[in-house]
Amino acid sequence: MAKKIDEHSDSELYSMLSGKRDVAEKAFTELFNRHSPRVFSYCRRFLGDREEALDVFQETFIRFHQSADKNKEMTNVPGFIITIARNLCMNAKRKERPNISFEEYMISDEDESPSNDNEELLELIKKGLDLLPDDYREIFVLREYNGLSYNEIAELQNTSLNNVKVRIHRAKQKLKEILQPYLKEL
């Protein structure tokens, strides 16, 4: 008796992407359903803008699908997809990166002020994240929002475990430094 599509591993599904069209479509749909929430969350947190995140998210899965090669063994499908998303997010950030201060950023977004303290705090954190350098923002989002372990982040970024720990610590320190004057007001 053949397995149902949702009983296959990610690696098996990836190898099916380059097979018959109907099987490939089912395999892609299953992989998309398994990994799309995490990928969209990553894009959204990294880029800050929902529309831009949606564009990058869609491009991520297009490139993932195009990468299918029956001769290529895929052992870490989630890592591969996040790597594609990461590269696209970094490219998108490079294109748009204006240099503004946190104060200017807060003033430019005044009309969208939240109604209560919790919403205000979340909005401050989001704006603080937007002002972090790309490498700190990315590592912070991977750890705090996507729940990746230090080892998973090290593998994804092709760096040492110690480097990951240092960058996460520095990202938190930088975020704290950015938000310190505003947290006192709350």
Examine the fold and report which residue of 97, 128, 157 is the final residue of a domain before the chain moves on: 97
pLDDT, tens digit (0-9, with 9 covering 90-100), for 109-133: 444 444 556 677 777 777 788 788 8
Q: Same domain, yes or no, for 48 and 77? A: yes
pLDDT given at position 36: 93
Average confidence score pLDDT of the chain: 81
For 39, counting Cβ atoms within 10 Å of its Cβ (0-12 exposed, 13-18 middle, 19+ buried), the class is buried
CB 31 within 8 A of CB 56: no
153-175 confidence digits (pLDDT tens): 888 888 899 999 999 999 888 88
Q: What is the CATH number of the domain that holds 26?
A: 1.10.1740.10
Both 46 and 124 in a single domain?
no
Range of the domain at 160: 98-186
